[in-house]
Structure 1
Amino acid sequence: MKAVLAPEYGSPDVLQIADVPKPSIRKNEVLIRVRAATVSSGDSRVRSLTVPTGFKLLSRLLFGIMRPRQPILGTEFSGEIEAVGEDVKRFGVGDSVFAYSDGKMGAHAEYVAMPEEGPLAHKPPNLTYEEAAALSFGGVTALRFLQWGGLQEGETVLVNGASGSVGTAAVQLARHFGASVTGVCSTGNVEWVQSLGAHRVIDYTKEDVREIGDVYDVIVDTAGTLPYSRSKHLLRDGGRLLLVLGSLPDMLRAPWVALTSTKRVVAGAASGRREDMEFLASLAESGAFTPVIDRSYPLEHIADAYRYVEQGHKKGNVVLTVASTNGSRPHTARRRNKNHAQPS
């Protein structure tokens, strides 16, 4: 099979397309023919080893000291099941699925093996393969952090970095859970974030959210620019800062914040679970959550996809088409489903 390899850390120029053996499957696994995958900010950080302050050594220990231990990157994908292990009960050959391989990666390839009980679910029938591929990374990350933060109906949420993969998911999921959502993004994305369901959008090129005077129950920082030292005055008593992206020192301060104030910092790695995938699938099928696609590239142009992601201005997700997909919508960003409730 064809796969994209990152044989060393570095720029997108290190990537190589090569023929590698097709994965074999165990009794409890399925073999998926990949139709679409994504290039995420997480993939970029692993390939380049450009990570927040304090994580360089930890990243090398996790992903490989001198070079990526798993040279095939990519964590989310969709496709069709080509083979199943003898113990598999939930899936059959020909089923359309989407999956989140998480730290095992391997999605930038024509085939991936996944355990039946892993982060794997049937593809919502109303989504294309491209759209289904974009459900997991942002969706799972936003969902887990909102769960960890104990978001309640009627609370106020600030999403910093509301136009990215995690940000667009956080806006939609927080709105689904009954929160009043404020998004922070650049000028060109203001109307876009409003269309996702944000009640208010702050253009950070014109206003500093720290100086507006509003306070929130929950802050979701996907951009790494609102650590607790800069955002504590934006939190109500009992407020929670969900540090999706932050430095190691910022994350290590979390216990001290909990001991010395009424507020809380939530940080961690949001691993995927089967129940999360099925929940996101049900929301997508009902129209309550629409994965946002900015651009689509063929697998052969993956280096260009990485370069675009690393410009830092993408809306939602950047998708790779690994095989031809009926009904896909390449090179267009899909807006929020018309069945969503509009901001009030």
Structure 2
Amino acid sequence: MKAIVYDKYGPPDVLKLTEVEKPVPKDNQVLVKIRAASVNYGNLVLLKGEPFLARFAFGLLKPKYPIPGGDIAGQVEVVGKEVTQFQPGDEVFGDLSGCGWGGFAEYVAVPENALVLKPANLSFEEAAAVPMASVTALQSLRDKGEIQAGQKVLIYGASGGVGTFAIQIAKAIGAEVTAVCSTRNVDIAKSIGADHVIDYTKEDFTQKTERYDVILGANGSQPISVYKRALNSNGIFVHVGGSGTQMFQAMVMGPWISMIERKKVGIFLQRANQKDLIYIKELLETDKVKPVIDRQYTLVEVPEAFKYFAEGHAQGKVVISV
């Protein structure tokens, strides 16, 4: 089968399309013919081996997983004899980040709990755009942000993969959502349900009198103190993505702030979870959430897709058609 592989950390140019052995599923695995995949921030971490701490999980000197790619959508081709949830022909989507990656290829063999039946109202490309970003948004808002209906929520970096899902999930839960993004993304944020949109090139949200119950930092480079000032007295800031400095501040200062004040500051790392993806599937099927896709590339164009994604200006998701 054809697959994108790499044997050293580096820029997108280290990714090569080549022929590798088609996987054979184990008794507890499903063989999926991949129809589409998508690019996430975690893919960049695997590609570059940065931050360095990530190498303790992904390979210290060279990549532990030679085929990158986490989000996939496709059709079940073979099931192992212990598999109970799927059968050949089923259309599925899922997140492979917890079971060895391997999504930028024509086939992958994975445990059945990495997959969920694909919503019938989504194409393979749309479904592939969903898993990692949507579950990140859900878990960070619900589990770390403790979001409740009626609360005021601010999403900083609202136009990327996590941000576009965060807007919609927060609205589905019943929150009043303010999105912060650049001028070119204002219309997108409005179209997916944001109650208020702040163009950070024209306005500084910290200069406003509004205070928020939950602030999700999906991107940005502001100091933690900036977000803390915009929180209600018992508000919660959750760092999901952004500059390394911001992440460091959230890791180091967050526990201290949370201990001495009623406000909480924390950092969140997503974990693949079938139950949460099923919850997202239900939101997709009822049109409460929809993926926003910026660009589509082919398998041979994966290096170009990474280069574009790494620029940090994607509107929603970057998808790979296999």
Which of 84, 91, 105 lines up with 2:86 in the alignment? 91
Q: Provide the residue aligned with 1:320 in structure 2.
A: 320
Contact 1:224–1:243, Cα closer than 8 Å, also in 2? no
**RMSD of aligned alpha carbons:** 1.3
Contact 1:144–1:270, Cα closer than 8 Å, also in 2? yes
Q: Shift in Å at residue 215 of structure 1?
A: 0.9
Q: Map 1:155-234 to 2 at 5 A.
A: 155-234=151-230
Q: Shift in Å at residue 227 of structure 1?
A: 4.5
Structure 2: distance between partners of 1:220 and 1:174: 11
Describe the superposition over 1:217-270 as per-residue Cα deviations: whole angstroms up to 9, x where unpaired. Answer: 000001142452221110001100011124234223222122100011232321
Ranges of 4+ aligned residues in structure 1 off by more than 6 Å: none
Structure 2: distance between partners of 1:316 and 1:254: 28
Structure 1: distance between partners of 2:6 and 2:216: 31
Which of 68, 73, 96 lines up with 1:73 in the alignment? 68
Q: Provide the residue aligned with 1:301 in structure 2.
A: 301
Which AA in structure 2 matches 1:129?
A: F
Q: Shift in Å at residue 36 of structure 1?
A: 0.0
Q: Provide the residue aligned with 1:17 in structure 2.
A: 17
Residues 1:291 and 2:291 aligned together = yes
Q: Shift in Å at residue 7 of structure 1?
A: 1.6
Q: Provide the residue aligned with 1:244 in structure 2.
A: 240
Structure 2: distance between partners of 1:227 and 1:72: 36
Which of 139, 146, 150 lines up with 1:150 in the alignment? 146
Contact 1:224–1:244, Cα closer than 8 Å, also in 2? no
Q: Shift in Å at residue 212 of structure 1?
A: 2.0
Structure 2: distance between partners of 1:301 and 1:212: 43
> After alignment, is 185-194 or 24-33 more displaced?
24-33
Q: Which runs of 5+ in 1 are unaligned?
A: 51-55, 323-344
Q: What number of residue pairs does the alignment pair up?
A: 316
> After alignment, is 247-256 or 62-71 more displaced?
247-256
Q: Provide the residue aligned with 1:332 in structure 2.
A: none
Q: Shift in Å at residue 296 of structure 1?
A: 0.4
Structure 1: distance between partners of 2:158 and 2:223: 16
Describe the superposition over 1:88-146 as per-residue Cα deviations: whole angstroms up to 9, x where unpaired. Answer: 11100000000101142111111111212x23100000000000001111101000011
Which AA in structure 1 matches 2:189?
A: V
Structure 2: distance between partners of 1:206 and 1:35: 41
Structure 1: distance between partners of 2:80 and 2:47: 32
Aligned residue for 2:74, secondary structure, equals strand
Aligned residue for 1:188, secondary structure, equals helix
Aligned residue for 1:247, secondary structure, equals helix
Query: What's the TM-score, normalizing by structure 2?
Result: 0.95
Structure 2: distance between partners of 1:229 and 1:67: 37
Contact 1:137–1:165, Cα closer than 8 Å, also in 2? no
Contact 1:227–1:243, Cα closer than 8 Å, also in 2? no
Aligned residue for 2:140, secondary structure, equals helix
Q: Provide the residue aligned with 1:7 in structure 2.
A: 7
Which AA in structure 1 matches 2:3?
A: A
Q: Provide the residue aligned with 1:337 in structure 2.
A: none
Query: What's the TM-score, normalizing by structure 1?
Result: 0.89
Structure 2: distance between partners of 1:212 and 1:302: 42
Instruction: Give the 3 Å change call, closer, same or farther, for CA 26–227 of structure 1 in structure 2.
Output: farther
Q: Which runs of 5+ in 2 are unaligned?
A: none
